[in-house]
Structure 1
Amino acid sequence: MEKDSIQAYSKRITQANRTELVVITYEIIIEHVENAKKYYENRKEFVNSLEKAQSFLKELMVSLDFNYEISSNLLSLYIFINKQLIEAKQKNTCEMLSRIQGMLESLLSSFKQVSEQDKSAPLMQNTQKVYAGLTYGKEDINEMSVMADSKNRGFRA
């Protein structure tokens, strides 16, 4: 995963509620599966990407709330996906990765719909709000990001 992606996910995580965190986790898993397909020729990067996808998948598994019936169905699906990732690593093949990615994208779209309806507060309470914008220079456009409580806000000569 690229440094820019990590920073973007980090900012989103600090402002996310419970269902948004699930959406972000799915997006991260999908990105690692895409990276595995991209790095298929490089065995080390291929395996590393699949292992990272597995670690985030395990986070989804352990965070399931079994008071809801759907949790056992999701667990079965997560176990199946994990087995497919293990098989892809062992056989050094990416044939099943497209199918896995399709399943994950289907789950992602479902959780996105749930996330849009969830109006609960972010889980992380003591975080700074991040404001971002563009400033226009004489010959270019500059991106600017400022923390809400930052003492360095505003124009400095």
Structure 2
Amino acid sequence: MAATEQYVQLAKALPARLQRFLARYPPPAILPAGATPETYKTLYQEDTPNPFKPHKHPITGKRHEPVYSLRRQAELVKLAREHGVEELLPPTVKGTEYRLAERVTHGLRVKGTGVGQKVKGHIHERMSIQRMEKRRGAMLGMPELMREWKKVGRYGWKKFPK
């Protein structure tokens, strides 16, 4: 009994917008124990089971847009995320879980940022590693080169003793 009252208090703490949405489209997680979702369907759920997805009218066969636009879906998801009840919402492309899955499969939509891909980059970025290796080799060989130059002299020929 105390747990039920606690859930009621939590539900009252939600913003009115979320309360209305959850009243129209109650998730199976908050239905009474032993109840099936079919027995507790609201009129809204009979019309559209998932208000975030388009559906076909059963008689005319025409396509109907989602009840909630993508902007309104994003706003609902943000509100639910702030209040810790995002998992109670129906699946949507604006949900955190879907977005993370998309980020893993497609990366940042920049070529080469997905799993197992490499960024092409500019030519100077691609050549920088080889250039640094070449410089490193030249710096390591510098003492030998200086000894050689000191032996040969300023103009490239050996000085002869007078």
User: TM tier, shorter chain?
Assistant: under 0.3
Normalized per residue, the structure richer in strand is 1
Greater relative contact order (Cα < 8 A, sep 6+):
1
TM-score, L = length of structure 2: 0.25
Normalized per residue, the structure richer in helix is 1
TM-score, L = length of structure 1: 0.26
Q: Rg bigger for which structure?
A: 2
